[in-house]
A and B are shown apart, each in its own frame.
Chain A
Amino acid sequence: MRAATLVAVMALVTALIRALPFLIFRKQTPGYISYLGKVLPSAIIGMLVVYCLKDVTLAARPHGLPELIALACVTAAQAWKRNAIISILSGTAIYMVLIQTVF
């Protein structure tokens, strides 16, 4: 019963957070919010990349090298082929090989 209550609280609060901006700006979206809506996506994706790498330690071996190499591969593949599936699969495969065999 306690577990069910906690799961319900987590579900409810998460849904509320996601719905809140829609509930607040139900009718007219203010210009400032529309502006944020346009510029936020690339800023947030940038923040998420950093977020994914937050636990990489540069000071100790392997000095973030597997991440750096794999990210370079993802970026290069994306710039070359413009196909997210190819970029992600190749980058992930290289990363797995690097941490399982090289580093």
Chain B
Amino acid sequence: MSESNNLYGLMAEFENPNDLVKAAHEARAAGYRKMDAYTPYPIEELIEALEIHDRRLPALVLGGGILGGLAGYGLCYWCSVIAYPLAVGGKPFHSAPAFIVPTFETTILFAAFAAVLGMLALNGLPQPYHPVFNAPRFALASRDRFFLCIEAADPQYDHDETWAFLTRLGPRVVMDVEE
């Protein structure tokens, strides 16, 4: 018991994306839930297999865009009508068509910040430390290898049983990931 306490989980290394996706399907079918896969590039099939799909980001970006649009138009309106009304060429203070361009630009700007910062925030980045980096050979996850990690926090996790389960999936190697 004490041994598995300081373990983050078990990591299996696969040679190619097909094996990993198959393994992810099987782990999911076997009832494991707290797990994650680590790959050198995005694999759509893997996301389906793990049944992870975070739909919050588009909402954040929409929110950012709406906020940006209101802020941009509000800025134009406030400056031109309230704070510094300036008669130029007989144009009305509230020159809506002229305000379209700054409004459009701030909409895009805020939405783009929401997309990038939202992605980083939801992913918990920047993150100076994460246990998976303790796994030997994990550096290959950014090169040419595919990893599946079943976490010790999973209710179904049992060190020896999970180890045996992962071994049956035909990985190159199974390893302990220290906390």
Do A and B come from the same complex?
no
